[in-house]
């Protein structure tokens, strides 16, 4: 059952079963809809679906879980303003209302999940199984404890999830995809076309006269949005970076030496040996064989053959000591000289004789060669450990209204002052502002903030922090014509070339439809005709862009047309269309059927849930929602 839940979460059913319990448990972030979620009559309900209430605690839990997932995905802290812009509260409420709708419907239908089904689902969940694949009660309770749940809460939530899944499966199971639909999709995806074409360069439009002042002004007014100056902001940034705080010179030689000894394997390759092994039933038999080898009566290979050990069973491989599973075998094998035979060794799987046939010596860089790297590593780790302490001290100073400039000077931290930067990180001249750390995160925060705002520091990817103040905001505005005259003229010229090429393309296509050959037209305008075969929808080929190809598919076979092709234009004539026969039940047909069954199920479930909500009635208390999310909403 839980495997079905996990599989379902990867496609349409994931839109219904939005709380995939076990995935959330593994992540250690808890489960949507905890105890209060299912408790009727709560006085702190945020929303109601029929008689099913959604508590403030359920909303807070779901909101924090969703926020945590976004922060993990983006690898940065999400501020309340950013959370609102992402619509996290809307996503959470939509999710909880959907779950409550299904819960309400299962109760209306009298659906119940027996204890045996819940127990079986829990026992089958691999997160609660040991290495042997058996349910382990201690692991079950440890996982619940980490998630902040008790057993009754978890069982109740699991029972609800199973019921929702069963209801969703009942609604969407065994949907039929009409053959006519499958055949139409087959035709659309497998059709291939061929065409002959001419590519008109911008020069084919002829000489373009300079625009009049009125024409320039008219075009500027119609396209003013393209010449709009973006919003610029003046900002001050205080950067706390672990790498800048790290002091490799303060690391002692003793610390470097200890780190080197602990990490030697990083700086080279350990010794490897090719090891052979013969297994004996007891120590006496192994000792007798060893003595025979020692006095020359038999060879190691002879003894191996007598024991029926040869080929891959004889040679364990070329291994490091750490790669040998049996410690006793590892110690004995790495104490032997090359071609030496060991005394009987009591291994985990019997008594063995060992022989080493080849050795690859250990290669390790000397300490002097890796010392700078180790010093930097130790210093950086030490700096990261102290970052939070500095962060707390700076926050105390910020709470006392101390300016960033004073804090930077007092703590010898870099202060970045940017006179003007837009949302893409560029200055008014169009150059990228290089001094902004973690550009994507920082720029987003800067343009969601206000002058004098109480901004939370941003956590950087390197593990540091950035404090920021917005000192000036220059609103976006239209640039006057005189300031952008050259760009406006270039835009007008490009538009005029496009207009003339479109007219020329239309004329050439009409002549092709009247029977003139593409070769004759190409000779007339000085363009070499080209051809393309095996064209597929939405896929460019050679000089033809996807837009041109799609236009070819929109034109009847034997007819001509034209389409924009970058700065130029393509004039074409469709010469052929081919399509493989449609075979019902073929692998391709089954794939199409499976894909559209998923789409149909998605639509049916969406309509079903909408109808459930309409009949049950959904009400959301906005005031309670704001109280539930507090300052985060």
Cβ density class 229-264: b for 16+ within 10 Å, e for less: eeebbbbbbbbbbbeebbebeebeeeebeebbeeee
**DSSP for residue 598:** H
The pLDDT value recorded for residue 5 is 39
Residue spans of the chain under pLDDT 70: 1-44, 75-76, 147-149, 311-312, 631-633
Q: 200 near 530, Cβ under 8 Å? A: no
In which element (H, E) is residue 347 found? strand 345-347
The pLDDT value recorded for residue 597 is 84
The pLDDT value recorded for residue 6 is 38
Q: 46 near 54, Cβ under 8 Å? A: yes
The pLDDT value recorded for residue 76 is 67
Find the length of the chain. Answer: 633
Residues 6+ apart with CB under 8 A from 473: 231, 232, 233, 234, 450, 451
Percentages helix, strand, coil for the chain (3-state, rounded to 5) are: 55, 20, 30
* Distance from C-alpha of 293 to C-alpha of 288, rounded to nearest angstrom: 9
* Distance from C-alpha of 384 to C-alpha of 519, rounded to nearest angstrom: 71
The pLDDT value recorded for residue 25 is 37
Q: 224-235 pLDDT, tens per residue?
A: 988 889 999 999
Q: 82-104 pLDDT, tens per residue?
A: 788 788 888 888 888 888 888 88
The pLDDT value recorded for residue 17 is 41
Residue spans of beta strands (DSSP E) within 181-321: 192-200, 228-229, 232-240, 268-269, 272-280, 315-320
Q: What is the largest CA-CA distance in the chain?
A: 111
| Closest C-alpha among 411, 414, 438, 412 to residue 425 | 438
pTM score: 0.52
The pLDDT value recorded for residue 309 is 80
| Mean of the per-residue pLDDT values of the chain | 84
Q: 233 near 484, Cβ under 8 Å? A: no
The pLDDT value recorded for residue 252 is 87
The pLDDT value recorded for residue 499 is 94
């Amino acid at each position: 059952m839980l495997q079905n839940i996990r599989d379902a979460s990867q496609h349409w059913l994931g839109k219904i079963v939005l709380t995939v319990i076990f995935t959330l448990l593994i992540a250690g972030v808890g489960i949507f809809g905890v105890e209060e979620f299912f408790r009727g009559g709560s006085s702190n309900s945020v929303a109601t679906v029929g008689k099913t209430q959604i508590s403030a605690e359920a909303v807070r839990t779901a909101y924090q879980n969703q926020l945590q997932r976004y922060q993990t995905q983006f690898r940065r802290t999400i501020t309340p303003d950013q959370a609102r812009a992402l619509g996290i509260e809307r996503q959470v409420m939509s999710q909880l209302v959907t779950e409550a709708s299904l819960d309400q419907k299962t109760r209306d239908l009298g659906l119940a999940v027996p204890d045996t089904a819940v127990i079986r689902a829990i026992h089958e969940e691999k997160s609660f199984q040991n290495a042997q694949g058996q349910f382990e009660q201690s692991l079950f309770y440890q996982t619940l404890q980490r998630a902040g749940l008790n057993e009754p809460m978890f069982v109740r939530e699991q029972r609800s999830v199973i019921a929702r899944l069963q209801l969703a499966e009942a609604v969407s199971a065994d949907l039929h995809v009409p053959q006519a639909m499958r055949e139409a999709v087959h035709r659309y995806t497998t059709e291939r076309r061929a065409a002959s074409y001419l590519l008109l360069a911008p020069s084919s439009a002829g000489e373009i006269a300079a625009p009049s002042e009125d024409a320039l002004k008219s075009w500027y007014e119609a396209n003013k949005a393209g010449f709009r100056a973006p919003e610029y902001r003046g900002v001050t940034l205080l950067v706390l970076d672990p790498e800048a705080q790290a002091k490799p010179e303060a690391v002692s030689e003793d610390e470097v030496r200890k780190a080197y000894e602990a990490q030697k394997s990083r700086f080279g390759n350990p010794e490897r040996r090719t090891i052979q092994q013969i297994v004996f039933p007891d120590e006496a038999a192994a000792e007798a064989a060893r003595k025979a080898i020692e006095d020359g009566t038999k060879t190691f290979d002879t003894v191996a053959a007598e024991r029926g050990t040869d080929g891959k069973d004889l040679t364990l491989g070329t291994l490091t000591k750490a790669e040998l599973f049996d410690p006793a075998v590892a110690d004995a094998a790495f104490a032997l000289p090359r071609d030496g035979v060991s005394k009987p060794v009591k291994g985990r799987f019997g008594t063995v004789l060992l022989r080493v046939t080849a050795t690859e010596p250990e290669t390790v860089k000397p300490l002097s060669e890796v010392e700078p790297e180790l010093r930097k590593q130790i210093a950086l780790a030490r700096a990261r450990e102290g970052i939070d302490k500095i962060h707390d001290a700076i926050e105390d100073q910020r709470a006392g209204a101390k300016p960033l400039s004073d804090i930077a000077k007092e703590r010898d931290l870099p202060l970045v002052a940017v006179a003007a930067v837009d949302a893409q990180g560029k200055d008014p001249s169009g150059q990228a502002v290089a001094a902004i750390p973690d550009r994507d995160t920082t720029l987003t925060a800067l343009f969601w903030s206000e002058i004098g705002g109480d901004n939370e520091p941003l956590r950087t990817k390197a593990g540091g922090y950035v404090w920021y103040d917005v000192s000036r905001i220059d609103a976006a505005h239209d640039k006057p014509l005189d300031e952008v005259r050259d760009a406006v003229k270039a835009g007008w010229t490009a538009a005029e070339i496009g207009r003339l090429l479109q007219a020329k393309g239309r004329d050439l296509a009409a002549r092709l439809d009247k029977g003139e050959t593409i070769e004759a037209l190409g000779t007339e305008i000085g363009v070499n005709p080209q051809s393309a075969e095996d064209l597929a929808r939405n896929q460019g080929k050679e000089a033809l862009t996807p837009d041109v190809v799609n236009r070819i598919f929109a034109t009847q076979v034997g007819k001509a047309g034209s389409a924009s092709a970058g700065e130029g234009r393509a004039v074409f004539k469709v010469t052929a269309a081919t399509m493989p026969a449609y075979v019902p039940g073929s692998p391709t047909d089954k794939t199409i059927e499976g894909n559209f069954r998923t789409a149909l199920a998605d639509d049916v479930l969406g309509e079903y849930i909408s109808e459930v909500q309409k009949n049950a009635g959904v009400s959301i208390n906005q005031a309670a929602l704001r109280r539930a999310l507090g300052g985060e909403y």
